[in-house]
Structure 1
Amino acid sequence: PEILDGRVKTLHPKIHGGILARDLEEHRKQCADNGIDLIDLVCVNLYPFKETISKENVTFDEAIENIDIGGPTMVRSAAKNHQRVTIVVNPDRYDLILENLQKNGTVSLELRRKLAAEAFAHTAEYDRLIAGYLEGQIDAETAFPKTLRLSVAKLQDLRYGENPNQKAAFYADPDAGKGTLAYGEQLQGKELSYNNWVDMDAAWELVNEFEETACAIIKHTNPSGVAIGSNVLDAYEKALEADPVSAFGGIIALNRTLDGETATAIQSRFYEVIVAPEFSPEARQILAAKASLRLFKVNVEEQQHTRGWKIRTVNGGFLLQDEDIGIAPVSVWQVVSAAKPSAEDLKELEFAWKACKHVKSNAIVVAKKKQVLGVGAGQMNRVGSAKIALEQAAEKAQGAYLASDAFFPFADSVEVAAEHGIKAIVQPGGSVRDHEVIETADRLGIILVFTGRRHFKH
């Protein structure tokens, strides 16, 4: 009988005996003596625990009542006895099962083994969600779980890793929204590589830092160009102008639909990937001639939530940290120089600061008119990065804006900036020599603004 408000329905020897009985004479006799019919096919859809806890304002009691007990037990029983029993936990498999039954009158042992593996993975993921939810309810103040349980689905094997001697694969986080990069759609082009995915991620994060129409061109996770434009074509042309040599073979990211006019401008150059929220039919038609070019659409209309973590491996372990989301609002920035910025100066500094956040440390960005002019990335000393960015900007650095992802440990970067005609500098501040940096800026007539927040990127 079904008892306890449905909490006990299938936990019964007539069910589990029929599932777990092996093809042995003694087992058949025991089942016959107890009126148990053998079961050779089990299909189970578990209570929707994940969907329940995803709802806003779901109560603890609601979540608990959506923990399935009998379902996972049947799944595990059938999976254990897959030598005789077929277990199905995914409705997408129904057609495959029917096809096997119609064609062969049975389900092959090979397929039953695959389905058993799927079943145990399914219940493991179900239990992971429950354990994670309960731990979060018990210790809600803890930023990170005491035990890191990750269950991610392999979407594809990749040709190789960063280098041909390394194997690689791409996995998607089932807890992430379908509007994230991982759940995007490749519309054309060659198979995506490991390095493509890494650069696409860097490009997509950067371009979505801006609400205005923006374009970023990425090489080896660093921007060769970033710009805001009056339209997509304008943004692309300005981003390309910063460093057309480095843009060769790069990744383009847009935060607006790629239109035909911009596609025409793009098609004459070599790029690996274009990432955008949409591609117009005209753009698709124009770029179809470049069969190797990968077009990748991110479904931004879907939910875009992630775990909010960044995970990195070290030798024998993992590092977790919060994502570095956004920047400190301009309203809390401190103007520490005698020279004061105008409202327009602050907008220019904000653009440079957002772009600089996505450059590998030590990072320096020179920008003007919402266009990156020079990038100094990954140098072991800050003044070295400043020199690279300023030399790239050349004469355009006159009257431009400079951003530094961390404080200046010495005043030398300010002096180099002044030599190239920089008008204003934005940096987090926080050095023991801040007073020397401020004094140098005042002596050289440079506007200096502290944001109070560092943006290291390793």
Structure 2
Amino acid sequence: MTVAANTTPVPDRVPLRRALLSVFDKTGVVDLARALHERGVELVSTGGTHRALTEAGLPVKDVGELTGFPEIMDGRVKTLHPLVHGGLLGIRDDATHAEAMRAHGIAAIDLLVVNLYPFNETRRSGAPFATILENIDIGGPAMIRAGAKNHSYVSVLTDPADYAALLDELDRNGGETTLRARRRWAGAAFAQTAAYDAAVSAWFAEGEEGAPKRLAVAGVSAGQLRYGENPHQRASFYLDGTQRFGVATARQVQGKELSYNNINDTDAAFELVAEFDPERTAAVAIIKHANPCGVAEGASLIDAYGRALACDPVSAFGGIVALNRRLDAVSARAITEVFTEVIIAPDADEEAIQIVAAKRNLRLLLTGGLPDPRTGGTVIRSVAGGFLAQTRDNGVVDDLELRVVTKRQPTAAEMADLRFAFRIAKHVKSNAIVYAKDLATVGIGAGQMSRVDSARIAARKAEDAAKAAGGTPLTHGSAVASDAFFPFADGLLSAVEAGATAVIQPGGSMRDNEVIAAADENDIAMVFTGMRHFRH
């Protein structure tokens, strides 16, 4: 069954005579109400908003005076009333609606100013279940949807940033609003309630086993980007409200506007470097096209940066540099000697900021913290006709039960490098092979259709870096990590040819015994993790 459309002509301009203001975030609401009063608008309000306006000396009617019914149930029921919703939903130029409004004493509401209980903020605060539940707004979304549906007559504002635009609209149009403005605000209002409901449904879904039948995804625009992956593609950046430390929380101190590719690559870099506890070690990751081209631990950031850069200095040109500690002046000076697109760090010394400032186009992002690699969350990717959703890969090698499957046990140094290499392999596009020595990458093979090719490419890159530095490839005596099992022994043998002496891999192949035998024949130590880290 469908509801017949109302064919009453829609007016372009509507005079603003009565406003209902009911906001949790009271930023700017007193100034807005004063400006409306000065323009002859009658003010109606609720609860805390009513108190704020009264204390400011403004003539404002409590919604209870409008409805003849007091707030009840601790404020849960105050605006859910026909005299409120009729004032929002009534089609003023429809004879039937107009008669109903006259018969029941329903006064038209021309402006609705509402923002909602802070559900997301309460949820993130770690508040108990009952407190989070109480911060699910009911009356606010109901009014917003009612007013936005009837935007032919009602202006709905849900964001304090729109208050100035409303006043400008009234001044330009003799105290009236235009249909174009009302329609724009209505679209923003429905987006607001949709995002709010998405956050609430996501909270409930956290306690469910398996996938929820319906998954709502919402975000708040952080701005339109110049273009997408390529100049002919449009793109925007949206914040999901989770406040995970990274590009979304970062303060851009300086540099050009971030591009779509910058944001994607910078996120990959920062998630990788966050695998390293800053209390334990300094770590630097250099990323190009979402893949690491050099990662290292060190006693200091400058030490880690130098060794990360040495892995593949050619690819590092024009890359992203991510740090797990506060950027210092010495490190800033070294990083700015190489053309770099973005530096991202939890924080920076003032001297370091001044050094980076000499490179006007270099973006410096300070996030305020590191994301926790062990936390979950949902990762979404679009496909034709839908999207895929999965939990974040929050497996950490330190938490895994490692199993030595070869006759030879790895040495302590080899085991440290194995853990390091497997930590990196998690962040390399599959098929991934990572060679490491002395807690630094010395060769990385990414995104190949064959694991053998990844092993060979990583070894070749190590040879190229060695030639440029005038030394021997550091893959000799290295540890090697594979993000997934070796389906055949050939991938392992390629690593042996490159000089690796220890291997870490998930295991689980039908031919594990053949691969183990090949490792034993070559006196290679091999460790199984039991966890795969595909990254597509």
Q: TM-score, normalised by structure 1?
A: 0.89
Distance 2:360 2:246 in 1: 25
How does 1:221-236 map onto structure 2 within 5 Å?
221-236=290-305
Change (3 A) 1:319 1:95: same
Most deviating of 87-96 and 355-364: 87-96
Distance 1:326 1:305 in 2: 7
Offset, 1:326: 2.9
Most deviating of 398-407 and 383-392: 383-392
How does 1:51-450 map onto structure 2 within 5 Å?
51-54=121-124, 56=126, 58-59=128-129, 65-98=134-167, 106=175, 108-109=177-178, 110-133=180-203, 140-142=208-210, 144-174=211-241, 176-177=242-243, 179-211=245-277, 212-300=281-369, 308-329=377-398, 332-394=401-463, 395=472, 396-450=474-528
Please tell me the residue identity of whatever aligns with 1:411. A
Please tell me the residue identity of whatever aligns with 2:193. T
Most deviating of 127-136 and 249-258: 127-136
Please tell me the residue identity of whatever aligns with 1:183. T
Distance 1:41 1:303 in 2: 44
Change (3 A) 1:343 1:436: same
Q: Percent identity?
A: 49
- Alpha carbon RMSD of aligned pairs, Å? 2.8
Distance 1:261 1:401 in 2: 30
* 1:39 counterpart residue number: 109
Checking the alignment, whether the CA contact within 8 Å between 2:285 and 2:323 is kept in structure 1 is yes
Distance 1:7 1:42 in 2: 19
Checking the alignment, whether the CA contact within 8 Å between 2:374 and 2:394 is kept in structure 1 is no
Offset, 1:51: 4.5
Please tell me the residue identity of whatever aligns with 1:246. S
SS at match of 2:527: strand
Change (3 A) 1:247 1:41: same
Change (3 A) 1:161 1:434: same
Change (3 A) 1:189 1:25: same
Distance 1:309 1:69 in 2: 26
Checking the alignment, whether the CA contact within 8 Å between 1:177 and 1:304 is kept in structure 2 is no
Offset, 1:262: 1.0
Show structure 2 runs of 5+ residues with no match.
1-68, 464-471
SS at match of 1:397: coil
Which of the residues 507, 510, 530 maps onto 1:452? 530
Distance 1:409 1:33 in 2: 79
Most deviating of 32-41 and 405-414: 32-41
SS at match of 2:494: helix
Change (3 A) 1:78 1:215: same
Q: Deviations over 1:398-444 (max 9, x none)?
A: 21111111111222233333333322111111122211221221121
Change (3 A) 1:455 1:73: closer
Checking the alignment, whether the CA contact within 8 Å between 2:336 and 2:356 is kept in structure 1 is yes
Offset, 1:150: 1.0
Checking the alignment, whether the CA contact within 8 Å between 1:225 and 1:373 is kept in structure 2 is yes
Show structure 1 runs of 5+ residues with no match.
none
How does 1:7-46 map onto structure 2 within 5 Å?
7-24=76-93, 31=101, 34-46=104-116
Distance 1:63 1:421 in 2: 56
* 2:36 counterpart residue number: none
Q: Deviations over 1:251-281 (max 9, x none)?
A: 1111111111111112221111111111221
